[in-house]
Amino acid sequence: MDRFERENTILKIRQDVDILLENRDIIEANCGQLVCEKDSCEDCIVHYKLGFIEKEVSRLREKADDLLIKCDTWSYTIMGNRRAGWLWSRLFDIMFRTLKDEEIDQYPHKLPDGLIKEAIERNYKRLVCFTNSQISRLAYQVLEVFLMKYGARMTEDVRKRILEFSSWEDEEEQLIYKREWEERKLYLFDFREKVKKYKEGVKTTVPIESINDVMDRYKDNFFFERDSINYGIKI
């Protein structure tokens, strides 16, 4: 199944789910508080219909999720692809591994940004070393998003490398659709400006879109899966 077949299938699923949910709302509105006149809810046709709708909605959503897993790129934001998510998780793991037990125990639900910033700076060389090992322009871009999010230190040599590996010239010939070309250029230029102006201690974020964000934005004018960009570095 190619990207266009996948998009059309997911669009049809979303439309079917909307219809089912509309039917559920109508049934609930017509039967008030759903007071059963039967001895068992299993004998009540209203509850039977509602149960069927819920099961069908769950089945369709699972089917859509299975298709979405195969989508590699859904947005031309820096983090709008599956590889970027993997790189982020690896950077976070490198940072997390050197946290002390008492630091983790003190914040069982969510680590404060200040603690993450300290851990990033303790592991700065490791994070840069991992990024270098990927031989990927995307790895440098994700590293910068990671550093800026927590206001962490960034050395000038790393800033220079990130700007080198986020050049528009490396990407402008890759995208054939005008809509995709313009979207990527917008996000990449915004990213580069933030890299140039970034100062340690000032948390800086870039736009991030999930697959669902993109699907909701385009709705029936379906267009969520993008052509993937080649982030390779020529050695």
Question: What tens digit of pLDDT does each residue of 19-48 get?
Answer: 888 887 877 776 655 455 545 555 566 666
Answer for the pair 204, 194: CB distance below 8 angstroms, yes or no.
Answer: yes
Task: Answer whether residue 232 shows pLDDT above 70.
Answer: yes
Q: What are the tens digits of pLDDT across the range 60-81?
A: 777 766 655 556 888 999 999 9
Q: What are the tens digits of pLDDT across the range 201-216?
A: 999 999 998 877 877 7
Global pTM value: 0.72
Residue with tokens 């990024």: 131
Residue 49 pLDDT level (bands cut at 50, 70, 90): confident
Q: Write the DSSP string, 111-165.
A: --HHHHHHHHHHTHHHHHHHHHHT-BHHHHHHHHHHHHHTT----HHHHHHHHHT
What gap in Å lies between CA 43 and CA 41, rounded to an integer?
5
Query: Which letter, b or e, does each residue of 163-197 get, where b requires 16 or more Cβ atoms within 10 Å of its Cβ?
Result: eebbeeebbeeebeeeebbebbeebbeebbeebee
pLDDT at 32: 53
From the list 43, 22, 47, 18, the residue with the least C-alpha distance to 33 is: 47
Residue 221 pLDDT level (bands cut at 50, 70, 90): low
Answer for the pair 175, 125: CB distance below 8 angstroms, yes or no.
Answer: no
What gap in Å lies between CA 112 and CA 155, rounded to an integer?
23
